[in-house]
Amino acid sequence: MFVQAVAIGTLPPHAQVGGEAISLVLRRMDGDGHTLQQELDRGFRDMELRQPHLSEFLAEELSCTSDPAVQTLSFFLLVVIYRAFCEAFGNRLGAVGRAEITLLARRLIADGELRNSGHLGDSYSEDIIALGQPALVHLMRNELERVVPAAEEVAPGWREAEPLYEALLLEILALSHAVDP
């Protein structure tokens, strides 16, 4: 399938998070439930300090769901994504401002609308993000499929997962653009 970059454009190639960074973050979180919760809390506190606008945006998105499984999964993924960027890029990862979040949200919405119009074939905004960040999108898809079955009649929570999935895509976009070359 040919995926055309439209409103969100391509992601900077110097900002690609590899599978090694994700694996390292996941290994650090491995252990009993107490260890995992401590690592998630520590990761989110670090995000609040270093990425205050992004963490505020993501916390607000998380608060909009009442499905505990979707909320737990989304919190786990948002911290893993953030920690993977930190692991991969260290001090090269700059802060994301409110203006960038707003701009990227508008671009993501516009991109989705253009793709939904049918003029670009059968593709999704997620596809162009996956081209720039394949390991992160692969992780998100796998975890989402593991926790939230796709069929509406099986899991009405899927409707609640979709906006959070889009917020996680925005997190990937924002952090990708925040990496210095």
Say if residues 93 and 179 touch (Cβ distance below 8 Å).
Answer: yes
DSSP state of 152: T
pLDDT of residue 35: 83
Quick one: CA dihedral 104, 56, 160, 17, positive or negative? positive
Residue by residue, pLDDT tens for the chain (181 residues) are 444 556 777 889 999 999 999 999 999 888 777 788 899 999 999 999 999 999 999 999 999 888 888 888 999 999 999 999 999 999 999 999 999 999 999 988 888 777 677 655 556 778 889 989 999 999 998 988 887 665 444 455 556 678 888 999 999 999 999 999 9
Q: How far is CA 10 from CA 33, 107, 128, 132, 181, in A?
A: 37, 12, 7, 7, 15
Judge if pTM exceeds 0.85: yes
Q: Which two tokens stand for residue 98?
A: 């409110």
pLDDT of residue 6: 64
Paired with 99 in beta bridges are: none
Distance (Å, whole) CA 7 – CA 109: 9
Instruction: Please count the helices (runs of H) and the strands (runs of E) in the chain.
Output: 8, 0
